[in-house]
Amino acid sequence: MRSKLTEALAAIGPAKELVLTSEDGVLARLAAPEAAHLCKLPVRVLAGGNEAWCAAGGEFESAHARWAVPARDAWLKPFDQTQGKVEDSLNAYLSWEVGLVEQFSRDGSLKFDFGAKRDGDAAHGGRATEK
């Protein structure tokens, strides 16, 4: 995550280069010029990304213990949370989900019709359309 790149590099310690990867390597290739500008290090991209690495027999770490900065772009299901009570995580998720309707109504980019179900309506009884 580019907003945490400087912090992550500081946590890792001195580095001679930065290697970026993504699922198929495309996003890493697109991010490389900006990363090079931000960190002032030579930046390389793992050809073929994680898919090629895995196909070549490469291994991935599954533990979060070695992450330089906490992930903020990963979403864990409430029952997969390791911090706090599962019940608290489930309640927080349900509160977020219920609040989506209000967020959408404030956003103004979508119009939801929650009226009575009519022939041709989606199975859930409402339709979303772009304004």
In a domain, 61, yes or no: no
Give the domain range for residue 46.
Answer: 2-55
51 in the same domain as 11:
yes
Question: Which CATH number covers residue 22?
Answer: 3.40.250.10
- Name the nearest CA neighbour of 11 among 67, 61, 60, 62: 67
Structural domain count, the chain: 2
85 in the same domain as 47:
no
Strand-pairing partners, residue 110, are: 130
14 CB neighbour count, 10 Å cutoff: 6
What is Dmax (Cα atoms) for the chain? 64
In a domain, 73, yes or no: no
49 in the same domain as 11:
yes
28 contacts 45 by C-beta, under 8 angstroms? yes
In a domain, 64, yes or no: no
43 in the same domain as 11:
yes
Q: What share of the chain is helix, strand, coil (3-state, %, to 5)?
A: 45, 10, 45
In a domain, 6, yes or no: yes
pLDDT tens string, the chain, 131 residues long: the values are 667 888 888 888 888 998 999 999 999 999 899 888 888 889 999 999 999 999 999 988 766 666 777 776 666 666 666 666 778 878 888 888 888 878 877 777 777 666 655 555 555 445 555 54
- Kindly report the pTM of this predicted structure: 0.52
In a domain, 28, yes or no: yes
Q: Tokens in use for 123?
A: 């199975």
DSSP category for residue 2? G
